[in-house]
């Protein structure tokens, strides 16, 4: 089949970004913002029609293929399975919301930010739908460039340093992956006689080339992105210094690139190696959960606090995916979605506070619930969702991960459980510090919530609750694909 619907969704934002760049002198900033938001909403609407034609568990669908570099066996090939579909939806939902958070007029060069966000959206969508390893790597690396600028140009005081750190860390992981991708294709050629970078062809002969270092080279790239302890040190800086819109996308989608890569490539291409090393992987994940949570407890900066909570939450993803059990991997994927929505909402809420109070210091806050009562209710929902309270998506995913760990080895689940408790502790501590207690001087009157701010928080909180009370269809969407990845290798249930 030639190019079509999926390609349109992926490249729509980039086309809009190019148009905005070309038209930059001729249209007002307001028009540019509306156009940018319109393009991202159009991408959302188009992607929202995808589930209608999607058959859960039936492998890759909406596959489109076009010749690209035929001499090297590289083609432009995209397609969706349930896991990619969820990630695509997460992306198309979060980008317009992130653009909305930057709407307030306090952002400088809003036109540039819109353009960067749209380019970033195309790169991220591209990663999730690529079925050719070369194409995947192109999108993967290309996502670095706009994010680097978003942090460095629109970020806070120490943003250039944070942008460089982000760039160098992720770059270090991914160049190694490039060598691994090429080696994988070459090893496969030795076995089959065909040079190809096609994911479906490579995964069809998987196991035949279970070269361990390839697995770890892929894992290195994803470990930096997720991030796995001890490669997480870029994350607090990047999250803290990025503008609100950037933080939402960074936490909401960019970290998921790592998790997605881990399940799609590490587990999908090297299932035997993944099975062999699941214990160390799970332990890495658990270490992230506990370490991240403990780091949160001592943070004094609101954004840094949320950033470290991301490290902890992404630890569940690593542990779940690493467990190589159906429940654990399903939980890992659900945790990616849940964390994307909940932490996106947390960053949006922190951004709302920052725009009014102009400090990220926790000590500068207090008693906001009396100044902004409506906001405090929304904030509470977001905090509870982050804690993984029953009825929110976080509960479903953390439960599934723990179930997976239990099936692997009950002791592992016991090791991870304190993370859940700590999660509740730090989230409630943050809520108390911000919302309760005496109101500091100067905060007696704050601007009330704007409609767009309520909308952003409501959509994200709504998503968290919908998945929380009605998880069935989402899990069904990915169950078949996870079985296919595990299948044939024989991990326990």
Partner 1 sequence: MMPGFMESLPAILPELVLALGAILLLALGVSRQMEARFCVRFVLIASVVALGAMAYSAGPIEGSFAGIMAFDGLASAGRLLVLASLIAALLLSHPWLESAGMQNAEYVSLLLLSGAGLMGVCASANWIALLVFLEISSISLAAIMGMRRGVPASREAAIKFFILSAFASAFIVFGAAVLFSRVRGFSMMAPEYPDSAVVTGTLFILAGLSFKCSLVPFHAWAPDTYEGGPTPVVAFIASASKVAGFTAMARFLLSGGAGSFIGGGAVLWVLAAMSMLGGTILALTQTNLKRLMAYSGISQSGYLLLAFLGAAESRTESVVTYLVVYTAMTLGMLAVISALEDEGKAPEVSSLPGLGARHPLLAAALGVFLFSLTGLPPTAGFFAKFQVFREALSTGYLYLVLVAVVSSVISAGIYIRLLVPAVMEGEGVGWREFSLAPGVAAITLLASIILVIGGLFPSLLVSLSRLFLAQ
Residues at the contact surface with partner 1, assessed by CB under 8 A: 68-72, 74, 134, 137-138, 141-142, 144-145, 148-149, 152-153, 159-160, 163-164, 167-168, 171-172, 175-176, 178-179, 182-183, 186
Task: Please identify, using beta-carbon distances, which residue of 61 and 183 lies nearer to partner 1.
Answer: 183
Distances in Å between the Cα of 117 and the Cα atoms of 14, 174, 398 are 9, 22, 30
Q: How far is CA 59 from the centre of its chain?
A: 22
Longest dimension (CA), the chain: 73
Tokens of 412: 């592992």
- The three-state secondary structure class of 77 is strand
Q: Minimum distance from CB of 140 to partner 1 (Å)? A: 8
Q: Which two tokens stand for residue 303?
A: 């954004």
User: Other C-beta atoms within 10 Å of 284: how many?
Assistant: 22
Nearer to partner 1, 148 or 260 (CB): 148
The least CB distance from residue 74 to partner 1, in Å, is: 8
Residues whose CB falls within 8 Å of the CB of residue 482, separated by 6 or more in sequence, listed in order: 83, 263, 326, 329, 330, 333
Cα atoms in the Cβ-side hemisphere of radius 13 Å centred on 443: 25
Pairing of strands 61-69, 74-80: antiparallel
Contact in structure between 331 and 320 (CB atoms under 8 Å): yes
Q: Which is nearer to partner 1, 28 or 71 (CB)?
A: 71
Query: Which lies closer to partner 1 via its Cβ, residue 269 or residue 461?
Result: 269
CB of 67 to partner 1, least distance (A): 8
Closest approach of partner 1 to the CB of residue 102, in Å: 18
By beta-carbon proximity to partner 1, the closer residue of 62 and 134 is: 134
Q: How far apart are CA 171 and CA 145, in angstroms?
A: 11
C-beta of 14 vs 251, nearer to partner 1: 14
CB of 181 to partner 1, least distance (A): 9
Nearest approach, Cβ of 359 to partner 1 (angstroms)? 23
Smallest distance from the beta carbon of 34 to partner 1, in angstroms? Answer: 23
107: phi > 0 → left, psi -120 to 50 → alpha, else beta; which? beta
Report the SS3 class of residue 253. helix
Nearer to partner 1, 55 or 157 (CB): 157
Bridge partners, 33 (sequence order):
none
């Amino acid at each position: 089949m030639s190019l079509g619907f999926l390609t349109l969704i992926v490249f729509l934002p980039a086309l809009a970004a190019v148009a905005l760049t070309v038209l930059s002198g001729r249209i007002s900033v307001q028009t540019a913002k509306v156009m940018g938001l319109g393009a991202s909403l159009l991408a959302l609407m188009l992607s929202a029609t995808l589930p209608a034609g999607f058959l859960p568990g039936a492998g890759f669908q909406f596959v489109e293929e076009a010749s690209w570099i035929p001499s090297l066996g590289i083609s432009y090939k995209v397609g969706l399975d349930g896991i990619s579909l969820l990630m695509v939806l997460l992306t198309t939902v979060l980008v317009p919301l992130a653009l909305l958070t930057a709407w307030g007029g306090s952002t400088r060069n809003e036109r540039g930010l819109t353009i960067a966000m749209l380019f970033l959206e195309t790169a991220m969508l591209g990663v999730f739908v690529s079925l050719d390893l070369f194409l995947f790597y192109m999108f993967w690396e290309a996502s670095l460039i706009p994010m680097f600028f978003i942090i460095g140009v629109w970020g806070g005081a120490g943003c250039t340093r944070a942008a460089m750190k982000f760039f160098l860390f992720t770059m270090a992981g991914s160049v190694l992956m490039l060598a691994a991708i090429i080696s994988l294709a070459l090893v496969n050629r030795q076995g089959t006689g065909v040079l190809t970078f096609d994911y479906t062809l490579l995964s069809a002969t998987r196991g035949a080339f279970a070269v361990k270092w390839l697995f770890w080279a892929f894992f290195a790239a994803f470990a930096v992105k997720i991030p796995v302890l001890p490669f997480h040190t870029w994350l607090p800086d990047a999250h803290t210094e990025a503008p609100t819109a950037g933080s939402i996308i960074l936490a909401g989608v960019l970290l998921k690139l790592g998790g997605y890569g881990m399940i799609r490539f590490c587990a999908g291409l090297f299932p035997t190696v993944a099975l062999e090393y699941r214990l160390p992987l799970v332990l890495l994940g658990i270490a992230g959960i506990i370490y991240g949570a403990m780091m949160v407890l001592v943070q004094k900066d609101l954004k840094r606090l949320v950033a470290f909570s991301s490290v902890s939450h992404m630890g569940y993803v690593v542990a779940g995916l690493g467990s190589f059990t159906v429940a654990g991997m399903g939980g890992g994927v659900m945790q990616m979605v849940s964390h994307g929505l909940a932490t996106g909402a947390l960053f949006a809420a922190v951004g709302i506070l920052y725009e009014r109070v102009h400090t990220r210091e926790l000590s500068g806050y207090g008693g906001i619930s009396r100044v902004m009562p409506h906001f405090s209710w929304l904030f509470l929902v977001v905090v509870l969702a982050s804690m993984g309270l029953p009825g929110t998506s976080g509960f479903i995913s953390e439960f599934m991960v723990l179930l997976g760990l239990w099936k692997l080895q009950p002791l592992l689940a016991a090791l991870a459980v304190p993370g859940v408790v700590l999660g509740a502790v730090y989230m409630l501590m943050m809520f108390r510090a911000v919302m309760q207690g005496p109101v500091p001087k100067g905060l007696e009157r704050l601007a009330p919530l704007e409609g767009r701010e309520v909308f952003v928080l409501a959509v994200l909180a709504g998503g968290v609750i919908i998945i929380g009370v009605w998880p069935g269809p989402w899990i069904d969407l990915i169950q078949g694909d996870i079985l296919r990845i595990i299948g044939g290798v024989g991990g326990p249930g």
